[in-house]
Structure 1
Amino acid sequence: MAKTIIGLDKEKSSKLVDDLNVLLANFQLYYQNLRGLHWNIKGKNFFELHMKFEELYTDSQLKIDLIAERVLTLQGEPLHTFEDYIKKGSVPVGKGISNDEKAVTLVVNSLSELLKIERTILETSDNANDEGTNSMMSDFIAEQEKTVWMLNAWLSK
């Protein structure tokens, strides 16, 4: 069985690289959504949401870098074109959203999609004995689940 430079099965690592690139593409779309929401939000919740969307897109930038670096650690190549992001993306794309409830709903739906992808990667990384990817996914999932709970509380759902 061929091994990567960090001692993981090459075939299993290759599958993880593919899955992580799907996550990377979706995080890039999520990030762009957040930028648009940050710029375009209007109404009585402007100040609160403008700051929240900035907090979320700043966090997304960090996660995007972590995902890309994990792909490189697994000896893969991170996706880096919008063409690839659109092909691999499943996060809903928001365009022209300025309403507070529609904006927050888009974020919740996007995070729900990211969580599905991350749970799949968590299972795959566990089967590959890849503690680095596994730990990263666990951290992402715990944080995003809390964010979904808080945003749903804001939406009063």
Structure 2
Amino acid sequence: RSFFDLHVKFEEMYDDAAIKIDEIAERILTLRYQPTSNYSDYLKLSNLKESKSELSDTDMVKNLIDDHGTILSQMSKVVKTAGECEDEGTIDLIGAYIRELETTTWMLDAWRMNTEETRKAI
């Protein structure tokens, strides 16, 4: 139902994620480690589950919100570990990502609640 609105938002999120993945890989290299770079390895390491392709718009957004919760939890662990290692660069990088993802999640949740309320009224 909300193809045009969500298509633009999802593409924005996709592009942003690609930039952040590159920044994280560069941070890992800066710390003299080798980042994961194969899609198959990402799938093995990920704690996110692939969703069905046939979802309603509100279900897609709900899945994203749930996934954001998982990602935020993981990023909090990264910040905690970076703090223990006195790695200020990683804390700064991931801290900014946390703030941005929390805002995006809030916006998606507001859209979802508004959409559900509008549909109930119809």
Range class of TM-score, shorter chain? 0.7 to 0.9
2:11 matches 1:54: yes
Cα separation, 2, equivalents of 1:130 and 1:54: 32
TM-score (norm: length of structure 2): 0.88
CA RMSD, aligned part only? 1.3
- Equivalent residues in 2 for 1:86-105, closer than 5 Å: 86-105=43-62
2:26 matches 1:69: yes
Tell me the percent identity.
Answer: 37
Secondary structure of the 1:141 match is helix
Cα separation, 2, equivalents of 1:70 and 1:89: 19
Cα separation, 1, equivalents of 2:49 and 2:109: 17
Which residue type is aligned with residue 37 of structure 2? H
| Deviation, structure 1 residue 103 | 0.9
Partner of 1:127: 84
Runs of 4+ in 1 over 3 A off after TM superposition: none
* 5+ long unaligned stretches in structure 1: 1-42
1:150 alignment partner, one of 98, 107, 110: 107
Which residue type is aligned with residue 69 of structure 1? E
Q: Which has the higher contact order (CA 8 A, sep 6+)?
A: 1
TM-score (norm: length of structure 1): 0.69
Secondary structure of the 1:147 match is helix
1:140 alignment partner, one of 88, 97, 108: 97
Cα separation, 2, equivalents of 1:128 and 1:97: 43
